[in-house]
Structure 1
Amino acid sequence: MPNQNKVQNPESPVAKTPQMNDRDFINDMLATEKYFCNSLSVALHEMSNQALFQDIFSVSKENQEMQRELYNLMFEKGWYGLEKAQTASLSQSYQQFSGYKSQFPYGSNIQ
């Protein structure tokens, strides 16, 4: 019986050999792009030169778009699956984080 909480396309077959296959290569590329996204984000937060900031910001945007394309490809081929969020879990998280807004200045004005 399939897992009803799993959101995933049928998996595209790949050779199960010691050599890297298409799934392995794309998964490696996706992991690398995620790492670059995080690293560029840190660089942008700490950058003081405006011209350099704009250049790195542009590179960061391209990097995020590539990461998204790789994610979409993995999901399309059934190599990346997601778990459906349970309503009770979402409600609990919403309540937990809604309480935090009172800790910020002008917290009651945050929507």
Structure 2
Amino acid sequence: MMEKQPVRSTTIQNTETQVPKTPQMNDRDYLNDLLLTEKYMTVSYVQALHEASHQSFFQDIKNVLDQTCDHQRDLYNLMFNKGWYKIESQDPQKIQQTHQQFTQYAQQQFPK
């Protein structure tokens, strides 16, 4: 029997922009704080959508949520470009297997 070789993940990261290492907040700290705030806000807006009783109010909140998601993505991209955010690559075969698993599950749970 052939033994499967472990898949090595590869870190994907840009060259890190250096910031001063002082007790004061630096650009990376500010951007990280903003990103965390945007993430928190999206969760709060989704909760507000669940509880909105008026269609016009629901739509206003949804518009703000969409803008907040866009801002969150912009902050992530900026931090990634500066090398302050890294991701791990995954094996395409493993991604495909997981996708098929969830597709099959959804088809079983929600037949047409």
Give the TM-score normalised by the residue count of structure 1.
Answer: 0.83
Please list every run of 5 or more consecutive structure 1 residues that lacks an aligned counterpart in the other structure: 107-111
Give the TM-score normalised by the residue count of structure 2.
Answer: 0.83
Please give the secondary structure, in 2, of the residue aligned with 1:102. helix
Alpha-carbon distance between aligned partners in 2 of 1:48 and 1:97, rounded to the nearest angstrom: 33
Alpha-carbon distance between aligned partners in 1 of 2:64 and 2:96, rounded to the nearest angstrom: 37
Please list every run of 5 or more consecutive structure 2 residues that lacks an aligned counterpart in the other structure: 1-7
- Report sequence identity in percent: 51
Q: 1:29 aligns with which of 28, 34, 47?
A: 34
Question: Is contact 2:9-2:90 (8 Å) kept?
Answer: no
Aligned Cα root-mean-square deviation (Å): 1.7
Counterpart check, 1:104 vs 2:95:
no
Residues paired across the two proteins, number:
104
- How much does 1:4 deviate? 6.7
Q: Map of 1:86-97 to 2, 5 A cutoff? A: 86-97=91-102
Runs of 4+ aligned structure 1 residues displaced above 3 Å come to none
